[in-house]
Chain A
Amino acid sequence: MSAPEDDRDHHHPAPMSDVEVRARALEELLREKGLVDEGFIDAVVSAYANDIGPMNGARVVARAWVDAEYKKRLLADATAAIAELGYGGPQGEHMVVVENTPTVHNVVVCTLCSCYPWPVLGLPPRWYKSAAYRSRMVREPRVLLREMGLDLPESVEIRVWDSSAEIRYLVLPERPAGTEGLDAEALASRLTRDAMIGTARP
């Protein structure tokens, strides 16, 4: 056999590195012992994309709904008010919160790339990074919002905020009618990521 490497490569084009071997071995052991199951690992990774982050933003918004003093601080200096709740870090450093009212609806975009306040909203949804969203939200926000399921009356002014590396925006939606009896935790659970980007209402 003149080239044993070739023979091995035929079956395994990329030999496993030591660390890959260790990772695979550990996973097999943990599976045997029932500590991780098929699918859970993938679910964890994708959950980080969808669920975990927005919960932080939801707590911020819910707190502002139930605590007028907090809301004042949040609108005056969002970075500091968000840090009060323990959220922040790189890319959440320069936060600005924009408040929806009966006559103004705010929506966030990043026309340049995909700047996004991830400490409060987690990972951006795929469409947030799409060229169509980035250009159309500036050009024809009312039409695009309607396509996304949010039909705003003509009387409501739409303000589009362009995120950048320096400033990241979070929308403070209006508190839904009929939620007077709910506490902050219950209110937070009603909030969605899209409501805090401004492409939906809670």
Chain B
Amino acid sequence: MTIERGAAAEVAQMAGPAALPRRNGELVFEAPWQGRAFGMALGVVQRLGIPWREFQQRLIAEIGARPGAPYYDCWLAALERLVVERGVTSLAEVAAAQRRVRHDSS
């Protein structure tokens, strides 16, 4: 799976509240999971063949609904919402996967 350049440029150019956090131009990931979440969203959008704005709109909605929440927390929530609403998975499946991860790590 390779990256579609057109879509990727669209991601890089997002403005307003959805603009990617940067420091001196470089993307900033404060923890490894944030980078994973970033890559996941691009992969999902590309694989589903949907416009980037479908994700972007959900991201903006999450940011708007949770003032002050960290950017990538909103990003992850937007991605969860996208895959559930697109029928890729269900809330029940997501919850079960979370229980599994929590169990495996404790």
List residues of A whose CB falls within 8 A of some B CB.
Answer: 8, 12, 15-16, 19-30, 33-37, 40-45, 47-49, 51-53, 55-56, 86-87, 89-91, 113-116, 118-119, 122-124
Contact = CB atoms under 8 A, between A and B. Distances in A.
Interface string B64-106: 0000000011001001100100001100011001101110011
Contacts of A26: 37, 40, 76, 79-80, 83, 94, 97
Contacts of B42: 44
A55 B48 contact: no
A41 B105 contact: no
Contacts, number: 138
B33 A44 contact: no
Contacts of A16: 101-102, 105
Contact of B31 (A20, A33, A91): A20
A87 B10 CA distance: 11
Interface of B: 1-3, 5, 8-9, 11-13, 15, 19, 22, 24-27, 29, 31, 33-40, 42-44, 47-48, 72-73, 76, 79-80, 83, 88-89, 93-94, 97-98, 100-102, 105-106
Contact of A27 (B5, B26, B36, B105): B36
Secondary structure class of chain B's binding surface, majority of residues: helix
Name the prevailing secondary structure of the A interface residues. helix
Contact of A87 (B5, B13, B88): B13
B105 to A, nearest CB: 5
B41 to A, nearest CB: 9
Given A22-B76, A48-B8, A86-B13, A123 B97 contact: no
Given A23-B33, A44-B42, A55-B5, A30 B105 contact: no
Given A56-B9, A89-B19, A44 B44 contact: no
